[in-house]
């Protein structure tokens, strides 16, 4: 990834409370990722100053703003928001959380997804640009659309629209072969709609599948499964449990 914008400006280092944003502008650029990095260089106490949650907006005129991504706080030092490629001049990150901590940012970078990342965060999920999903069951309600598992917003979800059964599945096409060793399903605020049990399969062609892990439904809204590193294009999660609850997935993430 090539850094197009670097901000190291004391005016944005310290903000407190919710709803505070900043903006930085450059010539019109194609944006496909924003990375917020908490200051680590000289103050260990700033490690707690990550944005609790934030929305990312872009604009061509600094008047009309389009929300392109949300960032959920999980305590990580590098917060990455990815979204379909945008062409815009202005970028605004609005903190939507609240905390006694100040908001500290050591650097903000803007990247194009085709550039290699010079400083990858080993804990960050894979960028999901161009990914798509299919499923055995889809809700008729637009609010529960399948694409919501890949939109970076934990407040939007997919739901099966029917109770869980053995054999219900979702499948993600990562567009290109990826190397990964962990899949995570987050049911978001639909906490009871976690998969009761599930098997995870990978495939290079969407036809021939290899089972790599199983997920035990233990009541946790975020379900992760780790396995030896795989290189594949497709991932299928087959629910092997049953429940009156629908299967809801707010975010589907894959990790190296
Ligand atoms: Ca979502």
The residue range of the domain holding 226 is 132-255
- The whole-angstrom separation of Cα 9 and Cα 39 is 12
Residues 6+ apart with CB under 8 A from 168: 136, 137, 160, 238, 239, 247
Do residue 156 and residue 193 come from a single domain? yes
Nearest to 52 by CA among 108, 127, 102: 102
Residue 117 lies in a domain: no
Same structural domain for residues 45 and 148?
no
Q: Which of these three, 82, 111, 140, is where a domain ends? A: 111
Q: Give domain status of residue 181, yes or no.
A: yes
Ranking 81-90, 226-235, 237-246 by mean pLDDT, the lowest is 81-90
Whole-angstrom Cα distance, residue 53 to residue 18? 9
Rounded to the nearest angstrom, the distance between the alpha carbon of 150 and the centre of ligand 1 is: 6
Tens of pLDDT, residue by residue over 139-187, are 999 899 999 999 888 889 999 999 999 999 999 999 989 999 999 999 9
Q: Indicate whether 77 and 154 sit together in one domain.
A: no
What's the average model confidence in pLDDT over 104-127?
67
Three-class DSSP labels, 139-199: CCCHHHCHHHHHCCCCCCCEEEEEEECCCCEEEEEEEEEEEEEEEEEECCCCHHHCCCEEE
CA 70 to centroid of ligand 1, rounded, Å: 9
Judge if 137 and 75 occupy the same domain.
no
Same domain, 99 and 164: no
Ligand 1: centre distance to CA 140 (Å):
17
Give the integer Cα–Cα distance in Å for 223 and 156.
17
Do 156 and 240 fall into the same domain?
yes
Q: Is residue 123 in some structural domain? A: no
For residues 105 and 157, membership in a common domain is answered with no
Ligand 1 centroid–CA 145 distance in Å is 9
| Span 67-81, pLDDT tens digits | 988 887 666 666 777
pLDDT at 85: 74
Query: Same domain for 106 and 161?
Result: no
pLDDT reading at 203 higher than 50: yes
Q: Give the count of domains, the chain.
A: 2
Residues 35, 80 contacting (CB under 8 angstroms): yes
CA dihedral (144, 146, 152, 155) in degrees, to 10, reads: 10
Shared-domain flag, residues 185 and 91: no
Q: Is residue 246 domain-shared with residue 147, that is, in the same domain?
A: yes
State in Å: Cα 137 to ligand 1 middle: 17
**How many angstroms separate the CA atoms of 238 and 234, rounded?**
13
Q: Looking at the domain assignment, is residue 3 inside a domain?
A: no
pLDDT attached to residue 49: 79
93, 163: one domain: no
Do 16 and 101 belong to one domain? Answer: yes
Is 2 a domain residue?
no
Please report the pLDDT score of residue 19 as a whole number: 32
CATH number, domain with residue 93: 2.60.120.260
Mean pLDDT along residues 206-210: 97
pLDDT of residue 18: 30
Window from 97-106, 170-179, 198-207 with minimum mean pLDDT: 97-106
Cα 214 to averaged position of ligand 1 atoms, centre (Å): 23
One DSSP character per residue, 35-73 reads: EEE---SS-GGGGG-S-SEEEEEEESSSSS-EEEEEEE-
Residue at 203 is within a domain? yes
Distance CA 189, CA 157 (A): 9
Q: Categorise residue 17: left if φ over 0, alpha if ψ from -120 to 50, beta otherwise.
A: left
Question: What is the predicted pLDDT for the residue at 5?
Answer: 37
Q: What does the angle CA 146 – CA 149 – CA 150 come to, to the nearest 5 degrees?
A: 110
For residue 27 the two structure tokens come to 């010539």
- Kindly indicate the confidence band of residue 40, based on its pLDDT and cuts at 50, 70 and 90: very low
């Amino acid at each position: 990834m090539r850094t197009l914008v670097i901000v190291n400006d004391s005016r944005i280092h310290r903000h407190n409370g919710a709803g505070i944003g900043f903006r930085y502008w450059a010539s019109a650029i194609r944006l496909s990722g924003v990375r917020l990095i908490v200051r680590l260089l000289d103050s260990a106490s700033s490690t707690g100053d990550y944005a609790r949650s934030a929305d990312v907006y872009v604009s061509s005129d600094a008047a009309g703003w389009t929300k392109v991504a949300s960032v959920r706080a999980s305590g990580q030092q590098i917060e990455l928001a990815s979204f379909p490629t945008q062409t815009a001049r202005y970028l605004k990150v609005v903190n939507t959380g609240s905390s006694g901590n100040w908001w500290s940012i050591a650097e903000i970078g803007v990247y194009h997804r085709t550039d290699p990342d010079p400083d990858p965060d080993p804990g960050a999920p894979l960028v999901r640009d161009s990914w798509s999903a299919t499923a055995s069951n889809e809700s008729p309600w637009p609010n529960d659309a399948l694409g919501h598992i890949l939109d970076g917003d934990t407040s939007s979800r997919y739901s099966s629209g029917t109770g869980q059964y053995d054999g219900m599945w979702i499948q993600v096409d990562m567009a290109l072969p990826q190397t990964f060793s962990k899949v995570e399903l987050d049911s978001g605020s639909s906490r009871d709609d976690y998969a009761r049990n599930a098997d995870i399969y990978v495939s290079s062609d969407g036809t021939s599948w290899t089972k790599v892990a199983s997920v035990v439904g233990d009541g946790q809204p975020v379900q992760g499964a780790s396995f030896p590193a795989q290189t594949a294009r497709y991932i299928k999660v087959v629910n092997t449990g049953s429940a009156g609850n629908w299967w809801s997935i707010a975010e589907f993430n894959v990790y190296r």
